Amino acid sequence: MQNTVNILVLVSGNGSNLQALINADQRGELGVGRIAAALADRAGVYALERARLANVPALVKTPNMTLPIARRRQDLSDRVLQFCRERDIGLIVLAGFLSILAGDIIREYAGRIINLHPSLLPKFGGVGMYGERVHQAVLDAGEPESGCTVHLVNAGTDTGPILLQRRVPVLAGDTAATLAERIHHEEHIAIVEGAALMAARIAAS
Ligand code: GAR
């Protein structure tokens, strides 16, 4: 019998991908993975409510806005790392998490942090590329297709090794909102596949 891998899901907003993970966990689709907690970088977001409704421990750690940006990232990352150590977290899943992790957590959890991004990386990634901005950029570039990527997190932004991608067509008349909705559907499958795959790898390592 393999050990359970405790998963921390980091969120910043609606949390539909957190919901997909919770649903998958309840159906036993995460294999050895188990959603241990959800952590938001801002208060009042619906993702926290989703966690509470599912009896998943939910907490908020907000960036210290009095610090300059680099130290602010480091400080928040260190507090997330502290939580991970205390709760024996084996896998960190960034599911619509808009803060950037930096420093010790990247080294200590190398190969054990995954991020979901709403484009076919390496296209349309990097700092400032999130949510509807990504979809608008895809439309502006006249791309025939888009999709989502689950990748390992390294010290860059959206630059880590790609684990899996799911593709969708860009349709005539698409707006950022309609494209986002089509991609969201694929994200809910991709994030579950990615988390289950990584949990299995980590348990076997
Ligand atoms: C998702 O589309 C995710 O790919 C994106 O935020 C959305 C969160 O949706 N993440 C990024 O843009 C990160 N760069 P959700 O809160 O409903 O899961």
Burial bucket for residue 178 (CB in 10 Å: 0-12, 13-18, 19+): middle
What average pLDDT is seen over the chain?
A: 97
Conformation bin of residue 44: beta by default, left when phi > 0, alpha when psi is -120 to 50: left
- Residue 114's pLDDT is 98
Average pLDDT over residues 27-37: 98
- Residue 30's pLDDT is 98
pLDDT digits (tens, 9 = 90+) for 2-16: 689 999 999 999 999
Q: How far is the CA of 103 from the centre of ligand 1 (A)?
A: 23
pLDDT digits (tens, 9 = 90+) for 101-149: 999 999 999 999 999 999 999 999 999 999 999 999 999 999 999 999 9
Residue of 184, 185, 186 to mutate, ligand 1, most atoms within 8 A of C-beta: 184
d(C-alpha 13, C-alpha 18), whole Å: 10
Among 166, 163, 159, smallest CA distance to 126 is for 159
What domains appear along the chain, each with residue ranges and CATH number? Answer: 5-204 (3.40.50.170)
Tokens of 173: 């008349």
Does 25 have pLDDT greater than 70? yes
Among 161, 131, 183, smallest CA distance to 12 is for 131
In degrees, rounded to 5, the angle at the alpha carbon of residue 131 between the alpha carbons of residues 129 and 133 is 55
- Residue 2's pLDDT is 64
Q: Which helix or strand (DSSP H or E) is residue 147 part of?
A: strand 145-152
d(C-alpha 79, C-alpha 128), whole Å: 23
Residue of 11, 17, 134 to mutate, ligand 1, most atoms within 8 A of C-beta: 17
Q: In the structure, what pLDDT confidence band is assigned to residue 1 with cuts at 50, 70 and 90?
A: low
What is the model's pTM?
A: 0.97
pLDDT digits (tens, 9 = 90+) for 149-204: 999 999 999 999 999 999 999 999 999 999 999 999 999 999 999 999 999 999 99
d(C-alpha 23, C-alpha 25), whole Å: 5
Tokens of 121: 């990386």
